[in-house]
Chains A and B, each alone.
Chain A
Amino acid sequence: MFARAERRTLRVAGGLALGFVLVFAGAATAVLLAHAGGSGAPLFDAYTWRVAQFTLMQATLSTLLSVVLAIPVARALARQRTFPGRVWILRLSVVPLGLPALVAALGIIEIWGRQGVVNDLLRLGGLESPVSVYGLAGILIAHVFFNMPLAARFLLAALDRIPPEYWLTSANLGMGSGATFRLIEWPVIRRVLPGIAGLIFMLCAASFTVVLTLGGGPAATTIEVAIYQALRFDFDPQRAVLLSGLQIAVTGVLIWLLSLFARPPEEGMTAGRDIRRFDGRRRRLSDGLILLVFTLFTAAPLAATLVSGLSADFGRLTLDPLLHRALATSLAISFASGCLSLAIALPIVLVPRLAEMGNAGLATRLMARALPATGSLILLVPPVVVATGWFLMLRTFGETGRFAPVIITVVNALMALPFVVRVLEPAYSTHLTRTARLALSLGVTGMHRLRWIDWPALKKPFLTAFAFAMALSLGDLSAVAIFGAEGFATLPWLLFSRMASYRTADAAGIALILGVICLLLTLPSTAAERPTESPSADA
């Protein structure tokens, strides 16, 4: 798979990536643990148990719903390659990631809330009192809104990696939808499903604003809330770290269980034809219906955000120097964190491949296990914990505000890591299976291979992963909160600051700007969504 020099580079890169992530997160937690100020309150009291139970329960349900609903959507998207607006459906799926949770929650409420569109329709239908979503229902709707498009996007990428020859054959054999699903689609879906489910589970487990705002009361409390509580009013850093540990342990077990269901890939060879779905035409109506419902569900809260955003005074807002500064800061930070995230993700994706080679040493094999685990579990270390830890370390070096951009960049890059890996890993794996041996036998290695073999085929997954990482970083607020320095502001920070001074219209305008940027970010990765010459590893 890899030439000798490539193997060496990869081993070094893997070691660096692993070391960097572990040191960055580990140092922060160690410093917090060592900091005085623990209250000595027992970690496993009734409160913690109840909160842990609720976290697991809502995350499990949210994940199941998101994943199960995403399967028909992804299948429909894969079949209907010329569906009107298809590329925009794909682009929209990134936007929720880049919106601060509060903005998305308010958008959801405009649709599903007591005064929302759904209740308006029900009232037209003669229903007296509004249906309330506050409680588990609201949490699930919000989590499905955030994650189902994500799951659909990942599943679609997997389906698109099926060799196009399969569709030709299945059409020749006259396979029905059921047989196609069982024999062609499910094996592929099954391979990626555990990873997707794991990622979504972590996202939902670490949910904070959505759970509190839509949860209806403190019965809906996640471990993340308890962590935040421990770091704020209670100021008990040790407890915060221990609770993070609990969160990682609980979720880690679940993700390990999920990984048992993963199957090694069965890659088929392809001559690199265009994907043509011969079964598309007869399913056009039902697929159209599925996609319509999906688009309504995803786009409606975004449209609500758009509408309230348009009420902002853009004439004044766009001339606001503070907004310009925040925009520049946000773009710079998210660009840098996108690059960093890709750089760390590459060894995470490639080292396990390296370990599959017969002559891999023990160190490589260990690294191949540790890297992916670290890369996904990092999502469960709350950014506020890491940021607080680094704040403690850096305060000895003078003004902490100076370091804020760096810390936020790294924290965001680590947050995005699981997404980036999920996008790159399957694409890379398929690509390597199809090209690695040939490239090696032709002696195309190193930079040449990157330039001529890998990049053309993997350009799209790379750009997609980059868009995900940038969007996530754009919408993040958690890491900024502890560092506050004069003149330092990001877009979400400015948004919240405006909200806190009653300027809701400004806040809505900034939310709109954030949403538009996220949409723009997806353009490069979806530009070639029309039939291309080599759709071998689309994402």
Chain B
Amino acid sequence: MRKTVLSSITALAVSFALPAFAQEKTLTVYTYESFVSDWGPGPKVKEEFEKTCGCKVEWVGVADGVELLTRLKLEGEGTKADIVLGLDTNLITEAKATGLFEAHGLSPEGLTVPGGFSDDTFLPYDYGHFAVVYDTETVKTPPTSLKELVEGDPAQKIVIEDPRTSTPGLGLLLWVKSVYGDKAGEAWGKLKNRVLTVTPGWSEAYGLFTKGEAPMVLSYTTSPAYHVIAEKTERYKAAAFSEGHYVQIEVAGLTRTSDDKDLARQFLTFMTGPDFQSIIPETNWMMPAAKTKDPLPAAFDTLVKPEKTFLVPSDEVAANRKAWIDEWLAVMSAK
């Protein structure tokens, strides 16, 4: 008895100590959970890339983009990641400040990201415009501009996310800042009356919205595509705002500590290619950043296509985030 216990402990210890006796090369990709979930792009991306790379893709999925950066900061030089996929443009400056990333040195053709985003360290793989998504059964005349949203009927409510804890929340904050500038505080003062509640993350807000608690929610222009394709309903639509929409661009980069940078670069090239890009729309419910093999599904044609795109440069976000959140807090917390 004791012997079996001992040997199994030894076996366990060995399996802890020697995790990497695999013959194949391994590419470790850090990303957010919904990317690797069975509904997300992860499984298909892994399958496609492994066909050509002669390697094994290993995912590490943390809660979301912000958590991704936190995880990297915690791990520092010791990180196992070859690729970090799933940061958004707002986090780029802070991500670079960790000193853990290396310039990609690639110049992929045919990137179609709005706002002409380009960066020497991070490559985009998809994007989505923030939008107010509304329930057509209760909202007959949706707002056509941010101004109308701000000044509209306070009885018609919207659920938004908290900029202190979520990226969509920060997105709305930057959107209002982009449109209103110094007057952002006043705008929030008016919008506040329409805000039913401020949730910690997107899931909570969207849950309240689909339960019918509020007829509007801050989400993405692509959200209605999910309902059309997966649920066959056109009940939920995104409102097009005349001022333009704030964009969230999701990016990936390779780490300085990666032990197979060629493989990592190969992945980044694959990422901006049609095989990867074709997977994105119907699994990540975002717009592809480059050409797909086939035209997008019909449901994507009916989506709001913003004519103007807002994107506050990452440096500016990093420098002002705290001040802008404080401004938001002061207005939203006032009685």
Contacts and interface: CB of A to CB of B under 8 A. Distances in A.
Contacts of A388: 74
Interface string B142-185: 00000000000001010000101100001000000000000000
B61 A50 contact: no
B100 interface: no
A399 B80 contact: yes
Interface in A473-518: 481-482, 484-486, 493, 496-504
A234 B73 CA distance: 12
B14 interface: no
B39 A102 contact: no
Nearest to B155: A129
B213 interface: yes
A217 B208 contact: no
Contacts of B71: 482, 484
B63 A212 contact: no
A499 B209 CA distance: 13
Contacts of B165: 212, 225, 228-229, 232-233
Contacts of B21: none
Interface of B: 16-17, 19, 33-34, 36-40, 58-64, 66-67, 69-71, 73-75, 78, 80, 94, 155, 157, 162, 164-165, 170, 192, 195-200, 202-204, 206-208, 210-214, 223, 226-227, 230, 285, 321-322, 326, 328-329, 332-335
24 contacts: A35-B74, A106-B207, A109-B213, A110-B211, A113-B211, A113-B213, A134-B196, A134-B197, A212-B198, A228-B165, A233-B321, A235-B94, A396-B78, A399-B19, A399-B80, A481-B63, A484-B61, A493-B33, A498-B37, A501-B34, A501-B37, A501-B39, A501-B285, A504-B207
B198 A481 contact: no
Given A47-B329, A481-B62, A501-B34, A216 B200 contact: no
Closest 3 CB pairs of A and B: A484-B62, A500-B34, A219-B333
A114 B196 contact: yes
A402 B60 CA distance: 12
Nearest to A403: B16
B67 A232 contact: yes
A485 B60 contact: yes
B34 to A, nearest CB: 4
A26 interface: no
Given A218-B164, A232-B70, 8 more contacts: A113-B211, A208-B200, A212-B162, A217-B192, A219-B334, A399-B80, A482-B70, A504-B210
A217 B332 contact: yes
A209 interface: yes
Contacts of B333: 50, 217-219, 221
A41 to B, nearest CB: 8
Contact of A481 (B67, B196, B199, B212): B67
A422 to B, nearest CB: 28
Interface in A364-402: 388, 391-392, 395-399, 401-402
B39 A503 contact: yes
A271 B189 CA distance: 68
Contacts of B334: 219
A110 B210 CA distance: 12
A396 B37 CA distance: 27
Contacts of B78: 395-396
Contacts of B192: 217
B211 A109 contact: yes
Interface string A67-90: 000000000000000000000000
B211 A106 contact: yes
A322 interface: yes
Interface string A44-77: 0001001000000000000000000000000000
A134 B211 CA distance: 15
